[in-house]
Amino acid sequence: MQILKSISEVLEFRKNCTGSVGFVPTMGALHAGHASLIKKSVEQNDNTIVSIFVNPTQFLPGEDLDKYPRNEVGDTKICELCGASAVFFPDANEMYGKDEPLILAPKELSSSLEGALRPGHFDGVCRVLNKFFNIIRPDRAYFGKKDAQQLTIIQNMVKNFFMNLEIVPCEIVRESDGLALSSRNSYLGDDELCYALKLSRSIMKASNLIKANELNALKIKAAMSECLEPLKVDYVAIVNRNFEPIENVELGNTIILVAAYVGKTRLIDNLWV
């Protein structure tokens, strides 16, 4: 596995690739969820490139950019064990110039939920991914379904910009107790980890209600909100795949989402129905 530090090194590596190229963009602090993305790319492509970059343009003022967990040695080892061909550690000064144009996320998809609470976040995501897609020119790129709104926005961006690229959605990976894996779980103490389980339990509550043929969105959200007490909840939402609110669950076309704080740590989870 090659370790690439500059864009010129990536371009040289890419020039010498034969066969298909898979790309797994990450912000590091890799866990089993990231490993599942890398392994899927390795299975489906001749070459797999993983980027590890804590992207400053997708953090809002006051968010955890400076304290976001970083572990270059451990991340490199995970990439190697998963079979990646190369790992790219870009430098922010090389990735971003002065007064460059913004790549804006589509307003209809990015103005609600995460977009409403974190204005500009998705613009930063689209901005850095455009750069990565142009540098690496992958055949496929792999994203987790836990960031459901982000995944939808990326799929929309690729379609609208006519990118010759397949976006591969990957299932949420959970702990044995149901907690969705997240790099930010490392912020949680033992007591907070118990409270964090309220998110996955609210998702399981929704799933059980739907299995019992309860499809009314208001009733499902009320039951989920009860499961989440006493957490500070940013939202409980039931939307279709275009992120439009719906009154009743539509099987095969619904995402149920929750965002809440456990102490000072903001966590998200969702269920694709």
DSSP characters for 1-24? -EEE-SHHHHHHHHHT--S-EEEE
pLDDT digits (tens, 9 = 90+) for 133-155: 999 999 999 999 999 999 999 99
Active site residue 121: no
Task: Give CA–CA dist 148/37, Å, rounded.
Answer: 15
- Structural contact between residues 245 and 111, judged by C-beta atoms closer than 8 angstroms: no
Looking at the domain that runs over 183-268, which CATH code has it been given? 3.30.1300.10
pLDDT digits (tens, 9 = 90+) for 200-214: 999 999 999 999 999
| Positions at the binding site for beta-alanine | 58
Domain ranges of the chain: 2-170, 183-268
Active-site residue (options: 26, 34, 133, 180): 34
Three-state secondary structure call for residue 220: helix
pLDDT digits (tens, 9 = 90+) for 161-196: 999 999 999 999 999 999 999 999 999 999 999 999
| pLDDT at residue 104, as a whole number | 81
Task: Give CA–CA dist 186/159, Å, rounded.
Answer: 35
| pLDDT at residue 102, as a whole number | 81
| Positions at the binding site | 27-34, 58, 144-147, 150, 173, 181-184
> What would the two tokens of residue 96 be?
């971003």
Q: In whole angstroms, how far apart are CA 201 and each of 156, 210, 250?
A: 30, 14, 21
**CA angle centred on 74, ends 70 and 76, rounded to 5°:** 100
Question: Residue 87 above 90 pLDDT?
Answer: yes
pLDDT digits (tens, 9 = 90+) for 206-241: 999 999 999 999 999 999 999 999 999 999 999 999
| Positions at the binding site for ATP | 27-34, 144-147, 173, 181-184
| pLDDT at residue 108, as a whole number | 85
Superfamily of domain 2-170: HUPs (3.40.50.620)
Averaged pLDDT, 34-38:
98
